[in-house]
């Protein structure tokens, strides 16, 4: 399976691309917006495509065509303004969904945020970010795609533990980015996760087992 990773140069995306490359089931395709990022992946033997989430849907269709699944792990980042939160985390995600539907790429995995579906539990300091995630999630749920929405808690740059907790309404918690990437990897072919959404934090259940029990 060819797996397009949108946001492949990000912290979760870059870990995921490496995991995909090491897995015999998958061939990663890194979607990036800068030539130097593309060259970096290609130097590592990883296919890369150039596309801009702020560009037209037609350009994104060219990037997604020929792939078997899409993992949207892009984000505007904490150092940008609210305009980029809207343009990347919301509109960018929705445009990739449209491109996927138009290109018959039915498997779509979206990285969201813990409790994005529940307004009462949003982090007040990140409210605009949660608004973007909330409505991107809703647009995906209303699509025809075989989606899975993964809503991780606070992201850590610690080594992964390989164990997680997932569920519909988890208390606030954190999780290493490595474990988020590993969860995304395990979800790709898990048909029991189609058209589902779940919160994700560190826990005591092995990732593969937790995904099987969704």
What are the two backbone dihedrals, phi and then psi, of residue 29, each rounded to the nearest 5 degrees? Answer: -125, 120
Cβ atoms of residues 173 and 153 within 8 Å: yes
- Euclidean distance between CA atoms 92 and 54, whole angstroms: 6
- Euclidean distance between CA atoms 120 and 20, whole angstroms: 36
Q: Is 194 an annotated catalytic residue?
A: no
* Tokens coding 36: 């130097």
**What is the chain's alpha carbon radius of gyration, rounded to the nearest angstrom?**
16
- Report the length, in residues, of the chain: 214
User: Which of 129, 130, 135, 147 does the annotation list as catalytic?
Assistant: 129
- Euclidean distance between CA atoms 14 and 92, whole angstroms: 19
Can you say whether residue 158 is alpha, beta or left, with left for phi > 0 and alpha for psi between -120 and 50 degrees?
Answer: beta
Query: Which candidate, 57, 56, 58, 60, places its Cα nearest to that of 32?
Result: 60
* Tokens coding 201: 């934090």
- Euclidean distance between CA atoms 7 and 111, whole angstroms: 11
Catalytic residue set: 129
């Amino acid at each position: 399976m060819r797996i397009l990773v949108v946001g492949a140069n990000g912290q979760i995306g870059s870990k995921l691309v490496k995991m995909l490359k090491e897995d015999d089931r998958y061939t990663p395709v890194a979607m990036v917006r800068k030539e130097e990022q593309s060259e970096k992946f290609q130097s590592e033997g990883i296919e890369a495509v150039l596309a801009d989430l702020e560009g037209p849907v037609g350009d994104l269709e060219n990037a997604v065509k020929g792939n078997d699944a899409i993992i949207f792990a892009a984000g505007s980042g904490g150092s940008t303004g609210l305009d980029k939160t809207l343009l990347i985390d919301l509109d960018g995600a929705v445009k990739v969904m449209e491109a996927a539907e138009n290109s018959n790429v039915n498997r779509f995995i979206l990285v969201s945020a813990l409790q994005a579906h529940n307004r009462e539990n949003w982090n007040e300091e990140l409210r605009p970010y949660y608004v973007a995630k909330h409505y991107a999630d809703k647009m995906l749920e209303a699509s025809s795609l075989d989606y899975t929405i993964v809503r991780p808690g606070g992201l850590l740059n610690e080594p992964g533990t390989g164990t997680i907790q997932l569920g519909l309404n988890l208390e606030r918690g954190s999780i290493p980015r490595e474990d988020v990437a590993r969860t995304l990897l395990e979800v790709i072919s898990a048909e029991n996760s189609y058209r589902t959404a779940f919160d994700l934090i560190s826990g005591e259940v092995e990732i593969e087992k937790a995904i099987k029990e969704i």
